[in-house]
């Protein structure tokens, strides 16, 4: 805890202030920070490899199919610059990514989660293993539980993390297989006209931003409404639907639908474990000067 207390005591405050300022200007930044912690930390290590741009030699994780819809990376740079002005070369992008997620969760009405710091930045993209490690919305619940289990996140933890689908939106690209050629009978028929209206094309143009809000009731608030929705068959993604119907996960879904406190407690625990997945510490990795680029090393040609 408080890794920067000697080297950059204001670090966490500066990040928090930037997250708040950005949220005032662009509400969707908070969704991005929450999604980032999943896309970075679930892939082998919480090392900000997600943020690296492509180079001649390696593809960026941001360019992979699984990163579809990820955005607002330039505002991570805004936060990094504010921290660098105060303490150049001290605070890692990995810590900025994790703490911005923590503060974004608060912006969305979620719990404040005390998190450790001291992660260091990886030097290479992990694009080649994204599919192997990152749970996917079309996978079986068994596969999703296994992938999270490998990070030490148990079943209630997984159920709680999926509660992040209580905010933000799902792009039509990820939904149309449940609507065309025929509507998935598992969907609540009351919810279908809205989905068809929002996603009128069976093959949506990925460039056209067509989407359905994950939670029509409180789309900007991280709350337990998601669990009530999925029990009512209003889950948008296959994984949302399965979560409410699989006998391993359903008891926790019901418990979280009843108790926001229980949801927040399990969510906080799971985010903590995700944020501590295999970090680079000590002399491993580096402290990037800019979050989208690994530092130049003299030995690099």
Task: Indicate the annotated binding residues.
Answer: 40, 43, 47, 49, 61, 135, 165, 215, 218, 223
**Rounded to whole angstroms, how far apart are CA atoms 199 and 205?**
10
Tokens of 268: 């906080």
**Rounded to whole angstroms, how far apart are CA atoms 100 and 273?**
16
Return the H-helix or E-strand segment holding 170: strand 169-171
Asked if residues 277 and 37 have their Cβ atoms less than 8 Å apart, the reply is no
Q: Which residues pair with 280 in a beta bridge?
A: 120
Q: Give binding residues for substrate as ranges.
A: 135
**Vertex 133: Cα angle to 130 and 137 (nearest 5):** 85
Catalytic machinery residues: 39
Q: Which residues pair with 286 in a beta bridge?
A: 121
Asked if residues 121 and 94 have their Cβ atoms less than 8 Å apart, the reply is yes
Asked if residues 274 and 161 have their Cβ atoms less than 8 Å apart, the reply is yes
Write the CB contacts of 56 (distance below 8 Å, at least 6 apart in sequence). Answer: none
Tokens of 258: 């009843």
Asked if residues 61 and 126 have their Cβ atoms less than 8 Å apart, the reply is yes
Q: Give binding residues for Ca(2+) as ranges.
A: 40, 43, 47, 49, 61, 215, 218, 223
Q: Give binding residues for heme b as ranges.
A: 165
**Rounded to whole angstroms, how far apart are CA atoms 24 and 14?**
16
SS3 state at 212: strand
Distances 153 to 81, 144, 163, 187, 285 between C-alpha atoms, Å: 33, 11, 14, 28, 25
SS3 state at 269: helix
As a whole number of Å, the CA-based R_g of the chain is: 19
């Amino acid at each position: 805890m408080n890794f920067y207390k000697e080297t950059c005591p204001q670090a966490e405050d500066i990040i928090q202030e930037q997250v708040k300022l950005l949220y005032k200007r662009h509400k969707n930044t908070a969704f991005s920070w929450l999604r980032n912690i999943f896309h970075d930390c679930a892939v082998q290590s919480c090392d900000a490899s997600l943020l690296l741009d492509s180079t001649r030699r390696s593809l960026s994780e941001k360019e992979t199919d699984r990163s579809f819809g990820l955005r607002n990376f330039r505002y991570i740079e805004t936060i990094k610059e504010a921290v660098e002005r105060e303490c150049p070369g001290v605070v890692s992008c990995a810590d900025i990514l994790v703490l911005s997620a923590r503060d974004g969760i608060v912006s969305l009405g979620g719990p404040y989660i005390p998190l450790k710091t001291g992660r260091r930045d990886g030097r290479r993209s992990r694009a080649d293993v994204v599919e192997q490690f990152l749970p996917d919305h079309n996978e079986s619940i068994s596969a999703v539980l296994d992938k999270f289990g490998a990070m030490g996140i148990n079943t209630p933890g997984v159920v709680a993390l999926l509660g992040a689908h209580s905010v933000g939106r799902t792009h039509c690209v990820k939904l149309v297989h449940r609507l065309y050629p025929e509507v998935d009978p598992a969907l609540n028929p009351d919810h279908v006209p809205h989905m068809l209206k929002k996603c009128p094309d069976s093959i949506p143009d990925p460039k056209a931003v067509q989407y359905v809000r994950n939670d029509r009731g409180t789309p900007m608030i991280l709350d337990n409404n998601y669990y009530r929705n999925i029990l009512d068959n209003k889950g948008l993604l296959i994984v949302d639907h399965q979560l409410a119907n699989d006998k391993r996960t359903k008891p926790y879904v019901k418990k979280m639908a009843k108790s926001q406190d229980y949801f927040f407690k399990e969510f906080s625990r799971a985010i903590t474990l995700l944020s501590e997945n295999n970090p680079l510490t000590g002399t491993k990795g580096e402290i990037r000067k800019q979050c989208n680029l690994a530092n130049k090393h003299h030995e690099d040609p």
